[in-house]
Structure 1
Amino acid sequence: CIRDRRGGADAARALLVPVPEATAPVRPPGAPGEVLPARPQAPRPRRSVQVEAAPEEGRACFDCGTANGPHRHFCRGCAAPLDPRTAERPTGPYAGQRPPLPRARRRWVTRTLIALGVTAAVVGAVAAGPPAVRAVQDHFAKRVAVRPDTWNASHADREHDVHLAFDGYSNTWFGTGYAGDSAGQYLEASFGQPTDLLALIITPGTSKRSGQRSEQARPQEFDLLVTDSSGRTRTSRHHINDGGAQKVRVRVRDAVTVRLVIRSAYGAAADRQVAIAEMEFFGRSASRP
């Protein structure tokens, strides 16, 4: 049995045909390479040769200066419009900007606003009455100096009497004659006829000069009592700075007397008295001849 098996294998081998070994194919020079199936390669782009256009004679472009023939409407070099009217930029509103109103409508709106303003002013004046009219008159009135006819004080120093506060000089001064802040002491001025009083200017201390005004105490807080021709008294409290001529608004019609009552003072001490260098009054130009 073993012999039969060996003989059969030899007989099978004798039937096989020898096959030569596979070798890489030889390609001729210049042949294309391998291409994967179903993925063709796109052809390479070819460069076109640009032929220069023939020169033309005609108007030159406004942007690049290229000459263009009469049949052209746009520049052959930069494509800009050759007609200057078409090259102008539009004058309309920008993005997000409201277009202006027509001239006739603007006039109508302006006239309406003016009419409303005049109406509001007239209605306000009528509703407020005479005080509002007087306040407007006082604001625009020309101010003139008003000199009092008489004056007095609750107490005064012998060497610095009350008239020195109304003599028109800032290097002379009135003193209360009491040491300390002189709280409750007053200085009063009277007018010969009713005066439309608008303001007063007070110069505290002994002088306008900074080196001399602090020799004595200076008024800090005081009350103003203004009495008019009908006997009505108006009281107001004021606070001024330390030194220098300072303006105080009053605005009282037909004022007859003005009293300044001291409440506190700067630089008060046992060896100092409250001093006032000058008091000046101002009224309307038509209030006194």
Structure 2
Amino acid sequence: MTRSTLTDRLESLKAGATAAVTAGLVGLVLRSLLTSGPLNLASGWHLGIILISGFLFGVTYRYVVRWDPNPHLKSGAVLSFGLVRGLTAIENTALDLDWSSLMPLGESLLLFTVAALALERVMAKAESEGKLRRVHHIALNVQDMQKSRHFYGQVLGLEELTGATVPVTLQELVAAGKVCNFVTPDSTVLDLFWEPNLTPPDPDPQRQFTRANHLAFDIAPSQFEAALARLQQHGVTIAEGPVSRPTGRGVYFHDPDGFLIEIRCDAN
């Protein structure tokens, strides 16, 4: 397990624990307001389910908003967990419905709404402390825009941004053919800037010509062989590999401007 993977899992555990504790506290407050008497086995079981549901919600919510801060995704996560838990409770009393039977639905929505607010506060605090969240975009200079556009779009299969999906600040340059934008499945944007007078790479592909070493794309282990086949179909010359390491497999090749590209996967 790499250090970044361990850190990511710890952050997920932190998010799950935050949501579980928050949901549990809200559940206890609601119980004290709506019922009387000491805790019993039934109420203890109910609280346990809230803690487990809250933990799962926290982990899921973190992954939902980590790559895309779209507010609709956030509210969708709250509604999904709230409706599934609340409607399941209502289903169990379907033969004896009244207004009180709708209380589990309201409770569930309130639990996950408050848990989401707590998670937002924790994540905002981490960001305010200067912790970087993710790579937003990568910009490369290219000499031949058409060759590079074909390479990244057709050979590597990245999605090209067009129309309204192009960043507003780059729309004029895209329209003029000076910039081309692609996006990876994890929403990282790759910008290609046309520089016709770009200094060509060293004739020796093994000799570095830039401060950047290489650009690596991740792929599922089950798709690694398919990626190799795709490179072969497009006549891409392999610079090194495939290589196997304790952390996984990788293969190296160059883009049309001689920049080193890697496709890698985790170990099975």
TM-score range, shorter chain: under 0.3
TM-score w.r.t. the length of structure 2 is 0.19
Q: Which structure has the highest strand share of the two? A: 1
TM-score w.r.t. the length of structure 1 is 0.18
Decide which structure has the larger Cα Rg and report it.
1
Q: Which structure has the highest helix share of the two? A: 2
